[in-house]
Amino acid sequence: MFGLSVFPPFVRPDHGSVFDRSVGLGLVQIAVSIAVNLFIILSAARLAAWFARNSLWLAAQRFAMGFVLAALAVRLALDPRRN
């Protein structure tokens, strides 16, 4: 759907071959997607390694997650719309 919505403004027959321009647009989209996904993967790997090295962070994360789950449980228990 993205390609169909972006396609008409960039590919015009009076500016050259429609096939060549559509292939160029597709290659640009693929290149940008690969770059963004590679950045996300490398950042996530580095962040995961940092989290694994810091035991204090892991303890804080467990405490925060326990608090969030307990708060959700209390909210569900006190919900007046419960059947």
pLDDT digits (tens, 9 = 90+) for 10-55: 667 777 787 887 788 888 889 999 999 999 999 998 988 888 888 8
Is pTM, for the whole model, over 0.75? no
Asked if residue 51 is part of any domain, the answer here is: yes
Question: So what's the pLDDT on residue 83?
Answer: 55
The Cα–Cα gap between 18 and 66 comes to 57
Does 83 map to a domain? no
Into how many domains does the chain fold?
1
pLDDT band at 66 (very low <50, low <70, confident <90, very high): very high
Higher pLDDT among residues 15 and 67, named by residue? 67
Question: What does the pLDDT read at residue 37?
Answer: 96
Q: Whole domain around residue 9: which residue ranges? A: 2-77
pLDDT at 82: 65
Please enumerate in sequence order all residues whose Cβ is within 8 A of that of 26, keeping only pairs 6 or more positions apart, or say none: 3
Q: What is the maximum alpha-carbon separation in the chain?
A: 66
- Residues 6 or more apart whose Cβ sits within 8 Å of residue 18: 11
